[in-house]
Structure 1
Amino acid sequence: MSPADPTLVHDRFGPRRGAVRATTWWGRAWVRAAEEAAYDERDAKQGRTIARSGKVGAIGVEPGAASAVVEDTTGAHAVRVGLEQLRAGDWEAFLDELAARAGHAAALLAGELPHELMEEVEAAGVEVLPYGSELECVCPCESWVQPCRHALAVIYQLGWWVDEDPFVLLHLRGRSRAEVLAGLNDRYDAREEVVVEDDDPDDRADPGIAEAVRDAAERARMLLGLAEHAPTGDGLADAAVAAYDVAAAALVSPVGR
């Protein structure tokens, strides 16, 4: 994904059996928004059925919207689900709170959305998690109400992605993973100054050494925060363990270093 192409395409889900329940608190919050958006339980039930059927194509997510093609007995329908982007000031407040504690950033990198972070952000007047009336849906089917069953199917599948990776939610709200991390790093750079004590004046004059020390200190700080959010217990989802392993590896051996 590049600035010229802000859309990130998430692969199509195959058919799933039985009820598919959110495993995280923020995933459940998304499902509540979907239920609030549905006109009635019949529409919600049909949306869940289509979502599990494997008839929803790959979902393209961009700032402010997601789109996918949904198939059913009436044909193929190009669905678009809109979600208002956060304003610039709201993003500043979110990033300030995210940078305030190393544990927040470490948890996000490990695939978690800390409840405490969301409480702090909401206290600052920023709503990241959606509510039902925020989800604006467009579908060319003949349904007289939106979201229709096709749009609800896309919303439910978006919830599966948000449950797995909260950066999907942040992307819908206006910032990609790379942009969020860049904003976080800007705050670290602005508030942290590393002084290198060395008898060699040439080393002290080399800004690369100070930068390396600063980077190592920051990664150590985030690793400590990450350890607080290590997956524990029986029956862990493979995705949770994999996300933690990837986050830890990235901090220990960052790409390009």
Structure 2
Amino acid sequence: MSEAQGSGARGSGARGFPAFAARRGGRARGQSFWAAQWAEAVEDVWPEEGPLKKGRSFARTGRIGPITVSPGRVAAEVYGGEETYTTQLTLTVLDDDEWDLLWERTADRPAETEALLAGDLPEDLLEAVEDARVRMLPGYGDLDADCDCDALDHPCPHATALAYQLSWLLDTDPWLLLLIRGRDAEEAVEELKSALLLRALAGDDEEDDEPYDEEAGDGTTPDDGHQRAAYARPAAALPALPPLPEPPAAPEEPLTGIEA
């Protein structure tokens, strides 16, 4: 496992995609929301226009082979004239704590949670990403490129071309952004469900431990309510005491003898 992949990558397997055919003109950047966000982030990390322009041109030539996307890595064989080069982009994989925090922040957002559970990657997920202070899109010190060509530019046109082609893949499968960071779609949804379950269980525990509010009637059982109602009734007056019994009659004097 490479340093870029890190300890956060679980059993997420690599995914392969066929090579793109040559394109004449047209946009080199993907057109969907996530594709545009990816391309913009790449251009912010690599702001020199020369390598970017060469990369956009090369991306349309059809000389990049099948693309492999895996945690922390995007790779392809590139055909440069008579030579074949191995080109790859590397990104930092989120660790387990960062994923947990991201799902906690996502669970705060019902609309985004519902969309993710339905299989969509909502645009507003970026707000949850920012709240969790993790990276989903490339950033400074986070994205790097490697190619065994002899180009003087860094990144070379092959690497920037691969970055633009990844934006084309994001047009049809934005979940690849999560795969690069260490989770495939199935793992991501299961972890979000676990975060929601833990939150529900914690909420039940808080209700059980909540002190009784006499005005609101919270935290009690029906039996508790009957007992309180009974104690709240005014005390009834005690019945009068029965009369004391009459004292017993004095016994007659016993006979001491018999008269003659």
Q: Tell me the TM-score range normalised by the shorter chain.
A: 0.5 to 0.7
Q: CA deviation at 1:32?
A: 1.7
CA deviation profile, 1:140-195 (whole Å, cap 9, x unmatched): 000133210001111111122223322101100111112101112222333447xx
Give the SS at the match of 2:64.
coil
Q: Are the counterparts in 2 of residues 34 and 132 from structure 1 also a CA contact under 8 Å?
A: no
Q: Any unmatched runs of 5+ in structure 2?
A: 1-9, 202-260
Question: What is the rounded CA distance, in whole Å, between the counterparts of 1:55 and 1:113 in structure 2?
Answer: 33
Aligned with 1:87 (options 95, 105, 121): 95
Partner of 1:13: 20
1:74, CA displacement in angstroms? 5.1
**Unmatched 5+ residue regions in structure 1?**
194-257
How far the C-alpha of 1:30 sits from its partner, in A, is 1.2
Compute the displacement of 1:59 (Å). Answer: 1.0
Residues 32, 170 of structure 2: 8 Å contact kept: no
Structure 1 vs Structure 2 CA RMSD = 2.3
Superposed counterparts of 1:175-214, under 5 Å: 175-192=183-200
Cα shift readout 1:195-233 (whole Å, capped 9, x = no counterpart): xxxxxxxxxxxxxxxxxxxxxxxxxxxxxxxxxxxxxxx
* Residue 165 (structure 1) aligned to one of 158, 165, 173: 173
Provide the C-alpha distance between the structure 2 equivalents of 1:148 and 1:132, rounded to a whole number of angstroms: 17
CA contact (8 A) 1:65 1:80 kept: yes
The 8 Å contact of residues 26 and 129 in structure 1, kept in 2 or not, is answered as no
Distance 1:4 1:180 in 2: 12
- Larger helix percent: 1
Separation (CA, whole Å) in 2 of partners of 1:191 and 1:4: 25
In structure 1, the residue corresponding to 2:31 is in which secondary structure? coil
Q: Please tell me whether Structure 1 or Structure 2 has the larger radius of gyration of its CA atoms.
A: 2
* Match of residue 65, structure 1, among 53, 58, 73: 73
Cα distance in 1, alignment partners of residues 81 and 145 from structure 2: 20
TM-score (norm 1): 0.66
Say which SS state the counterpart of residue 145 (structure 1) adopts. coil
Tell me the number of residue pairs that the alignment of Structure 1 and Structure 2 aligns. 190
With structure 2 as the length reference, what TM-score do the two structures score? Answer: 0.65
Does 2:164 match 1:156? yes
Q: In the aligned structure 2, how far is the partner of 1:48 from the partner of 1:96?
A: 38
